[in-house]
Structure 1
Amino acid sequence: MKLENGWNRFLLYLDAFPDMEKIEEQLANLNIVKRSSGTTEPTYLLGIDASKTVPAEKASLVAVLCSNGSIRIYDKERLYILREFRGYPGLNGVRFANACDSVYSSCTDGTVKCWDARLASEKPIQLFKGYPSNVFISFDISCNDHVICAGTEKVDEDALMVFWDARMNSQDLSTSKDPLGAYSETHSDDVTQVRFHPSNPNMVVSGSTDGLVNIFDISIDNEEDALVTTCNSASSVSCIGWSGKDYKQIYCMTHDEGFCWWDLTHLDTDEPMTRLNIPDVREVINVKEGILDYLVGGLYHEKMDKLFVVGGTNTGMIHLLSCTPSGLIHMTGLHGGHAATVRSFCWNMQDDSLLTGGEDAQLLLWKPGAADKTFTKKDSMKIASSMYQRVRVHSNDSYKKRKKQ
C-alpha cells in the first residue's frame, strides 16, 4: 500500500512538470506591445488598477496614481490619457469599484476621494471624511462595493482602520460621508496596507509597520471578536494580499524585502499556518539574469492556481518569481522596458496581459505571444530625489549577494 501511494505521488509529480513548463514559457513570452504617450512630466507611477467592467462597445479603462498628486485615466489598449484628476497631493493607492467605473484613492488630508472615471470633472463625486487628525496611507473597497476601509498613520497613540458605507443613497444628495466606525486596538503603528477578500465582503486583512498582519470578519460587532487571527511578519509590512483556492491564504512582503505566506485553512488544525517565511528574499533567490534589488507585489493567478511574486532591479528589469512551499523560484526576467525602479503593476486575468509603471514615468503594456515590436528604451524621467514621497524607497545601490569574507 505504501509503495502504491508513493508511486501515485510520483506520477502526480511528473504530471506537474508540463504545467510548470507551460507557465514559464508563457511568462517568458511576455512582450511590450504598447508604451504610454501624451505626457512629458517627470512623475513616479505609484499605483495601477484596471476597470472590472468592460462593455463591448467601450475600451477598458486603466487608472494610474502619479507622484504629482494626480490620477490619470488611460485607454488600456492604446495607453492614451483620456482624462486626469489633478491637484490632490498626498494620494495613496488607486482602486476601481467592482461594479462601476468609480475610482477611489485615500489621502493624507484625512479623506478617501471618489471620481467617475468616465467624466472629466475636477471634483470628486464622493468624499469620505475621517476623524480629526487622521492621515490615510492605505485603503480598499469590498468586493460588493458596500464598504470602504482606510488605514492611518500613527498619531499620538492611535493607528486606526476607519470604515464607511460606500453605497450611494438616492435620497441623500450629500457627497460627503462620515465614518461608520473604526478599529483602534489591533495595530500599534502605521497601517500600511488594507485588502478585502476577493469574494467575501466581510473578510479584510491589514498590515502595519508594527509587523502584524491581522485578518478580520467585519460582520462581527466588536473589534476584539472580529479579529480572526494575527500573523507576525517580524518586520514592517509593505504589501499584503489573498491567494490560494477560495483565497484562504495570505501573503506578505516587508520593507526590507522579506516574504511570508500563511494558510488560513490550518487555523483549527495542528498543521502550521506558515507555508513560507523568508527574512530577505535577495539573500536566497537564484536569479538567472543577475540580481534582485526589491519586491513590488504578489499576484495569484486563478487559472493556474499559482502565486507569483513580482520583483525587479534599480535599472528597470522585472523579475517574475513562482511561490512554492519550498521557496521562491525565478521564472523569467522582462527586459528592455523600464529605465528605473518599477513601482507598480496590474495583471489582467482575462487576456494574461501585464501593465507596469515606475520611476521612469513610463506605463507599459505587456502581452504573451505578441509580435515582438522594437521599442526604444526611453531615458528615465526620475524626479529629484529630494522630493518627499509617502511611498517605500528602495536603495539606489544594487544589493550585493556576496558578503565580505
Structure 2
Amino acid sequence: MTAVEKVEEQLAALRIARRCVPRQEPAYLLDIDTCRASQASSSSSLVAVSCSSPALRLYHRDTLQLLREYRAQPGALSGVRFARTCPSVVFSGCSQGTLQCWDARSASQKPVQVFSGYPSNVFISFDVSCTDLIVCAGTEKVEKDTFLVFWDARGVTDCASATKEPLGVYSESHNDDITKICFHPIEPNLVVSGSTDGLVNVFDINKDNEDDALISTCNSDSSVSSLGWSGEDYKQVYCTTHDEGFCWWDIAQLDTEEPITLLHVLDARESVCTENHHLHYLVGGLYHEKAQKLFLLGGTSTGDIHLISCGTDGLGLVGSLCGGHSATVRSFCWSPTDESLLTGGEDAQLLLWKPGAVERSLTKKAALKISSSVQKRVRVHNTSLKSRKKCSA
C-alpha cells in the first residue's frame, strides 16, 4: 500500500470521537482554528470557533467542553486565527472595521489589542503571517474601493487594549469583495488573496510597492470561496468557488515554459458524485504533508461530509463521514498531529473526528436545522445543479 493509499484509508476511517453540547442560543459555526504552537501548555489544546451569533468561543481540544465566550465586538465575525508562535493569543475579524486580539487565558471581554482600519472598511477576511509579524485583512467593496489592509502585529500581548493603525494598503489588485486571505505556511512574506472578481493574487509583501509585490494573478473565472497553499514547499495555490468549482495552480512554473494550471474543474458536484453519494457543496481544502497530497472537503445539505482527493487527472471520492451533522457543514480544521478533523455547521454542532474512534459523548445527534440571522455577506451554498447535466449512475 502506498503512502497516499494509506492516508486515504485513514481519512475514510474517521469516526466521531466527541460532540459538543449545542448551546441554548444556537448559531452557525463559520470558522474553526486550533493552536499550532509547539510548546506544551493548557492553551495549546484550545479550539477557537467564530459563530454567527456573533461570538468567539473557545473549547478544549480533546473534550470539546466550552471554556469561554467573547462577545465584545459588534458586527459580523470574519474568521478566527491563533497566533502561530504563542498558544494564548487568538485573533478575530469583525465587519465593523477592526480586528481584535484576545488573551485566551483570560475571560475578560476586553481585547488585549485592536487593529483599526480606515473609516469605510468592512472586513470580511483576514489572516496572520506564520511568524505573527503581519496581520492582513480584506474588505468588502465600498463604492469603487476594495483594500488589503496590513498591520504590524508585533508585541500584541504587551500593550493592553492598545489600538494599532494600519501600515498601509493594497488597493489596485482586486476590484470586488476580498473574500479570502491566506499567508504562506513557511514564507512569512508571501500571501494569497481571493475575491468575488474571480482573481487569486499572490503577493511578496517585502517589495516596496503593490505593483512589484504582485507575483502572480490567476483567474478562477468565478467568485472565490476558499483558498490555500499545497505541494512540496507549498509552491502551489488552490481555490474553491461559490458555484462549487475548483482551481489549482503551480506557482513554481511562473518562470518556465510549463503551464501553471494543474486542474480546473467548473463544477465539482458533477465530477465526484456517484450512484449513492451526491455532492452539494465544497467547504475547502487540506494539504496532507506526509502524503504530499491535496484533499477537498465537501458535503450535502443533510450533513454528510465527503473527502475528495485532488490529482492533475481530476477529483475522486475518498470516503464519506455520515451520522454526524444534520445540516450543511460550513467549517473544518485538520490536525496533522493526531490525524483528526474538527467540523462545524449550520446545526450548531462542533464535532471531533478521529481514525477508528468510538463516540464517547452522551449527546444524541440533534436533528435540527437552526434558524439563524446569518449576515448577508455569508453566502448560501447553491445545492442545485440548475441547467448543468446531472450525475449519471
Helix, strand or coil at the partner of 2:2: helix
Q: Distance in 1 between matches of 2:8 and 2:158?
A: 53
Other-structure match for 2:47: 62
- Mapping of 1:245-394 within 5 angstroms? 245-287=232-274, 289-371=276-358, 376-384=364-372, 387-394=374-381
Find the partner of 2:193 among 189, 206, 212: 206
- Mapping of 1:130-149 within 5 angstroms? 130-149=117-136
CA contact (8 A) 1:54 1:60 kept: no
Q: Distance in 2 between matches of 1:170 and 1:294?
A: 39
Deviations along 1:76-115, one digit per CA (max 9) or x if unpaired, are 1110001100153311111000011211111111111111
Deviations along 1:262-294, one digit per CA (max 9) or x if unpaired, are 001110111000000011111222346420000
Comparing 392-401 and 313-322, the one that deviates more: 392-401
**Structure 2 unaligned runs (5+)?**
none
**Structure 1 unaligned runs (5+)?**
1-16
- Mapping of 1:28-107 within 5 angstroms? 28-37=12-21, 39-53=23-37, 55-56=39-40, 58=42, 60-88=45-73, 89-100=75-86, 101-107=88-94
Q: Distance in 1 between matches of 2:333 and 2:300?
A: 18
Other-structure match for 1:126: 113
Helix, strand or coil at the partner of 1:24: helix
Per-residue deviation, 1:215: 0.4
Comparing 283-292 and 298-307, the one that deviates more: 283-292
- Structure with bigger RCO (C-alpha 8 Å, 6+ apart): 2
The letter of the residue matching 2:251 is L
The letter of the residue matching 1:106 is G
Distance 1:315 1:39, change over 3 A: same
Find the partner of 1:157 among 134, 144, 148: 144
Distance 1:168 1:401, change over 3 A: same
The letter of the residue matching 2:8 is E
Higher Cα radius of gyration: 1
CA contact (8 A) 1:361 1:380 kept: no
Q: Distance in 1 between matches of 2:39 and 2:187?
A: 25
Distance 1:176 1:71, change over 3 A: same
Distance 1:121 1:401, change over 3 A: farther
CA contact (8 A) 1:53 1:60 kept: no
Deviations along 1:144-177, one digit per CA (max 9) or x if unpaired, are 0000000000111111000000011798666100
CA contact (8 A) 1:353 1:367 kept: yes
Distance 1:22 1:227, change over 3 A: same
CA contact (8 A) 2:22 2:348 kept: no
The letter of the residue matching 1:99 is T
The letter of the residue matching 1:104 is F
Q: Distance in 2 between matches of 1:208 and 1:368?
A: 35
Comparing 277-286 and 76-85, the one that deviates more: 277-286
Distance 1:286 1:162, change over 3 A: same
Other-structure match for 1:19: 3
Q: Distance in 2 between matches of 1:96 and 1:138?
A: 15
Deviations along 1:189-240, one digit per CA (max 9) or x if unpaired, are 1111111000010000000111000000000010001100100001111111
CA contact (8 A) 1:195 1:205 kept: yes
Q: Distance in 2 between matches of 1:171 and 1:39?
A: 34
Distance 1:168 1:328, change over 3 A: same
CA contact (8 A) 2:245 2:268 kept: yes
Q: Distance in 1 between matches of 2:308 and 2:68?
A: 34
Helix, strand or coil at the partner of 1:321: strand
The letter of the residue matching 1:155 is V
Identity percentage of aligned residues = 58
Q: Does 1:116 align with 2:95?
A: no
Helix, strand or coil at the partner of 2:169: strand
Per-residue deviation, 1:370: 2.0
CA contact (8 A) 1:42 1:381 kept: no
The letter of the residue matching 1:239 is S
Give the length in aligned residue pairs: 387
Distance 1:81 1:48, change over 3 A: same
CA contact (8 A) 1:299 1:347 kept: yes
- CA RMSD for the aligned pairs? 2.1
Distance 1:20 1:98, change over 3 A: closer
The letter of the residue matching 2:367 is D
TM-score normalised according to structure 1 size: 0.91
TM-score normalised according to structure 2 size: 0.93
